[in-house]
Amino acid sequence: MLMRLWVLVFWLCFVGLVGAEDTLKFNDTLRVYYLDEIVVTATRLKRAVKDLASSVSVVTREDIEASNANSCTDILATVPGLFVQKTSAFGRADVEIRGLGSRGRRLMVLIDGRPVKMGLFGCTVTHSLPLDNVDRIEVVRGPLSVLYGSDALGGVINIITRKLKKGIETDLTTWYGTYNTRCIRLRHGTNLGKFDYYLTGDWRTSDGHLPNSAYDGKDFTAHLGYRFNKRVELTFNGKYFDGYKEEPLRATDPDTLVSNTWNDYERGALDLSLNSKFGGIELFAKLYRNFGHHQFSDGWHSRDFTNGGLLHCVVHPLTGNTLVAGVEFRQQGGERLSEPQGEWTKTEFASFLHIEQLLGKAILSFGGRYNYDEVAGTELCPEAGLVLHLREGIILRAIISKGFRSPQLNELYMFPPSNENLQPERVWNYEIGFDYRVADGVTFEFTCYDMKGDNIIQLEDNPNPPPKFLFQNTGKFDFKGVETGLNMQLGYFTGRIYYSYLDPGEKTTGRPGNKLDIVMRYTYDKVMVGFTGQYVGNYYAADNHEQKIDDYFVANVKLSYRVLPQLNVFLAVDNIFDRDYVIYADLPGGAAGLYRMPRRAVTLGVKVKLK
């Protein structure tokens, strides 16, 4: 298995490199410029990835177009250090970064900097995040609570939406595939100088690959922007999602069982942002509200909300110095409409500071956050990083950072095991890495880390029952890992081959020890070919390396051809080798376990540019 896999990897690299060389020969006047990747998530302002101490990955718009993924989190499966748990092709796709995730409760998931949180449980409803309006996704691996507060233990995922800089765009995409899977997506936007907008509508439905695995989801988004002048811009974003999902039986359930489990989610969001620049000072302010209405087959019925606000400024007080300072508040709440009914809220306030100083070939960064939770009290969160540009093409990175997660309403109040005396969970991360430019367009990267967590909230026997069990801050972990691989940009060929190793100690449940990811894209003239492959090994369904899950390799391919300037047709084949494999999903309510994934699936579609 491993030998065949490595043969495939080298064959793909060879084809890509030869194809890139051929396209360069085809037009000997072609000049290729490799620009530094610019991101905003790691420091809350635009920075080149090469100048960051944190480990950062970017999923671009071209990556999205070359993929057949169904959601923002689903497309992150092949990012180094990330693993996606799911029960089927549609529905929730819960990401873990370096072994931490817990259905989005130990990660910070953002849309344009707005936290995407369910108010009562602090989780992320991931299938409410389709790709209809997404321009790029930035991922910071490792704790980043100094800038984003509670929940950013494992890292941060920031989904950045599409905004037109000029002209008018309108496109309609529709496809049909295996399991009676259908999609219709309409997008329209324009830029009229001072005013711009972008609107999307997305409807997806599928019978599912197993009994009781159907899906029906609708998503609508709106972006409105107005630029008063070169210094002041106001932006409004709105979103509404309605999704019905059936959950199949686990792979280990007896055939005599029949699943009738379903969930119905409505999610919405509004946010208003103000960007301004005056002299050497940049100001950013955001107000937002998330809200939801949930009904499940087990009788659960609730409404929830998350309200928040953020204000930060960027100044340059000294030569080579950049300072980011801000304040933030977040209020989470909701009500259980099913019996026994209840209503709960809690609020957090925070202030933060992050400083970068350029010292010759070195960039030194450090910062801190003071967080106050009205239930859990105060938390101090420091961070320090160093970037050394040793010489052209060789970069050394190191960072020490702390992450924390305040206890959520369900852990504090809502159920019998709740405990009002819970304290925040804490993680310390120690990380070092280097980047080496092998050749123009080819970079080798290596990162190793050690994340130590304590005060982790988990169920324990109650010394004074009832209830029998109680949430307590008793958990600990020590996760070590390595992420290494090649990034390639060679003419019309783009590729990434990465190996991720995770040693979670005894906490092996659902956390693969070995993961190899292959992402390749070849674009020339009217043709685009995208390929993704993933090998997963050293994978278990229980702690202490028990209940071994079979290793697997899954590959997907997508071919797109521009028939006319306004018309593209595409064919996608997921699981092209028809692999029979299972994934462990850490679901609540006793539903955690192994779920059988879809076999080979074919999708055929068209994309029409209407303007």
* pLDDT at residue 33, as a whole number: 42
Mean pLDDT of the chain: 93
Q: In the 3-class helix/strand/coil scheme, how is 138-171 assigned residue by residue?
A: EEEECCCHHHHCCCCCCEEEEEEECCCCCCEEEE
Cα 67 to Cα 61: distance, rounded to the nearest angstrom: 10
- The helix/strand count (H/E) of the chain reads as 4, 35
**What's the whole-model pTM score?**
0.94
Q: What is the 3-state secondary structure of 387-454?
A: EEEEECCEEEEEEEEEEEECCCHHHHHHCCCCCCCCCCEEEEEEEEEEEEEEECCEEEEEEEEEEEEE
Which DSSP state fits 339? Answer: S
Close Cβ partners of 8 (under 8 Å, ≥ 6 residues apart)? 533, 555
CB within 8 Å of 491: residues ≥ 6 apart: 19, 20, 21, 23, 24, 30, 32
Q: Which domains does the chain have, with CATH numbers?
A: 2-609 (2.40.170.20)
Structure tokens, 376: 């859990």
CA-wise closest residue to 176 among 611, 605, 556, 610: 605
Residues 118/333, Cβ–Cβ less than 8 Å: no
User: Do the Cβ atoms of 164 and 193 come closer than 8 Å?
Assistant: no
Instruction: Establish how many alpha carbons lie within 13 A of residue 252's alpha carbon, considering only the half-sphere containing its beta carbon.
Output: 11
Residues of the chain with pLDDT under 50: 2-34
Distance CA 363, CA 47 (A): 12
Greatest CA separation for the chain: 79
Distance CA 432, CA 145 (A): 19
Cβ(327)–Cβ(311) below 8 Å: yes
Alpha helices (H) in 27-123, listed in sequence order: 61-65
**279 phi/psi in degrees, rounded to 5:** 65, -125
- Cα 447 to Cα 435: distance, rounded to the nearest angstrom: 9
DSSP annotation of 35 reads P
List, in sequence order, every beta strand (DSSP E) within 149-260: 155-161, 168-177, 181-191, 195-206, 215-227, 232-247
Helix (H) or strand (E) holding 560: strand 552-564
Which residue, 155, 158, 36, is CA-closest to 483?
155
> What are the residues whose beta carbons fall under 8 Å from the beta carbon of 452, sequence distance 6 or more?
427, 428, 429, 430, 476, 477, 478, 479
Nearest alpha-carbon partner for 220 in 287, 270, 149: 270
- Cα–Cα dist 535/545, whole Å: 19
Q: Which of 578, 580, 584, 568 is nearest to 178 (CA)?
A: 578
Q: What is the pLDDT of residue 7?
A: 42
4-56 pLDDT tens trace = 444 444 444 444 444 444 443 434 333 444 457 899 999 998 999 999 999 99
- Cα separation of 202 and 188, whole Å? 12
